Amino acid sequence: MRLSPDEIILWQHGPLKVNATIAYTWGLMLFLLAGARLATRGLRTGGERSDWQNLLEILVTGIEQQIRAVGLNPPRKYLGFLGTLFVFVATANLFTIVPGYTPPTSSLSTTAALALCVWTAVPAFGIAEQGVARYLKSYLEPTVIMLPFNVIGEFSRTLALAVRLFGNMMSGSMIVAILLTVTPFIFPVVMTSLGLLTGMVQAYIFSILAAVYIAAATGSGASVPQPDAAGRNPGK
C-alpha cells in the first residue's frame, strides 16, 4: 500500500521526475487558473453579475474578512498568500470525490512545502512590517530566556502544520482505501463525505494558523477587529 502519491512516478530523467503529487498539483493549478479566467471574464461593476463572478467575489471577500478578523490589516496585502493557501488546500481536498484521485495534500512533501512557505513567509511579512531589529527582538520576548523556546516553536509549529494536514488527508485516503476492500458499498461514501468535511476544516485551519503566525510576526495580533475610519466593523 502506498502512503504517498510521491511514490507514483510518471516520468523521470535523472534527478528530475514527475510524480502523481506534482501532476495532480499541476492539474489543480490549471483548474484554478481556468476557473479564475472564467470567473473574471467580463467582470461587471454594476448590480447584475454572473454566477461565477458572484462565487469568486464571495470567496475573495470571505477570505478577506477572515484575514481581517485575525487582525491583519490591510487584509489585501496578505490575500494573495493566505487566500491561495486556503484555495489550494481546499480544492485539493475537495477533489477527493473524484474516483482515482489522490490529493496532493496527502503527500508529506506537499504539506512540508506549504509549511516551509509559511515558515518563510512569517519572517518575511514580519520584517517587512516592523523591520529586522524589531522582528528579531520579538524572539527575546517576554525575556531572553525564551529565545530558544521561541526558535524551537518556530520549527515545531511549522512541522505541526505539515504533519497535521498530511496526517488528516493521508488517513482519510487510507480509510477510504481500506473500506473499499472491506465494504465496497455505503461506508466508503460516508467516509468520503466525512473526508470532504475534514478536508475543508483542515484547509481552514491551515490557512488560519498561517494567518495567526503572520499576525504574531507583524505585531498585529489583535483578534478583535477594529472599526475602520468610516466606522464600519470590518469583521462583519
Chain residues in the site for other proteins (CB under 8 A): 3-4, 6, 15-17, 19, 21-22, 25-26, 29, 32-33, 36-37, 39-40, 43-46, 53, 56-57, 60-61, 76, 79-81, 83-85, 87-88, 104, 107-110, 112-114, 116-117, 166
- The smaller minimum CB distance to other proteins, of residues 12 and 193, is found at 12
Provide the b/e sequence for 16-42 (b: ≥16 CB within 10 Å).
eeebbbbebbeebeeeeeeeeeebeee
Report the nearest approach of other proteins to the CB of residue 212 (Å). 19
- The smaller minimum CB distance to other proteins, of residues 19 and 66, is found at 19
For the CA atoms of 109, 190, 31, 160, the dihedral, rounded to the nearest 10 degrees, stands at: -30
Report the nearest approach of other proteins to the CB of residue 108 (Å). 4
Report the nearest approach of other proteins to the CB of residue 78 (Å). 11
What are the grid coordinates assigned to 25, written together?
498539483
Report the nearest approach of other proteins to the CB of residue 186 (Å). 31
φ/ψ bin of 215: left (φ > 0), alpha (ψ from -120 to 50), beta (otherwise) = alpha
Report the nearest approach of other proteins to the CB of residue 142 (Å). 33
- The smaller minimum CB distance to other proteins, of residues 146 and 159, is found at 159
- The smaller minimum CB distance to other proteins, of residues 163 and 216, is found at 163
Report the nearest approach of other proteins to the CB of residue 99 (Å). 24
Query: DSSP for 47-109?
Result: S---HHHHHHHHHHHHHHHHHHHHT-SSTHHHIIIIIHHHHHHHHHHHGGGSTT---GGGSHH
**CA–CA distance, 41 with 46 (Å, rounded to integer):** 15
**CA–CA distance, 138 with 126 (Å, rounded to integer):** 10
- The smaller minimum CB distance to other proteins, of residues 105 and 192, is found at 105
For the CA atoms of 92, 97, 102, 106, the dihedral, rounded to the nearest 10 degrees, stands at: 60
- The smaller minimum CB distance to other proteins, of residues 4 and 192, is found at 4
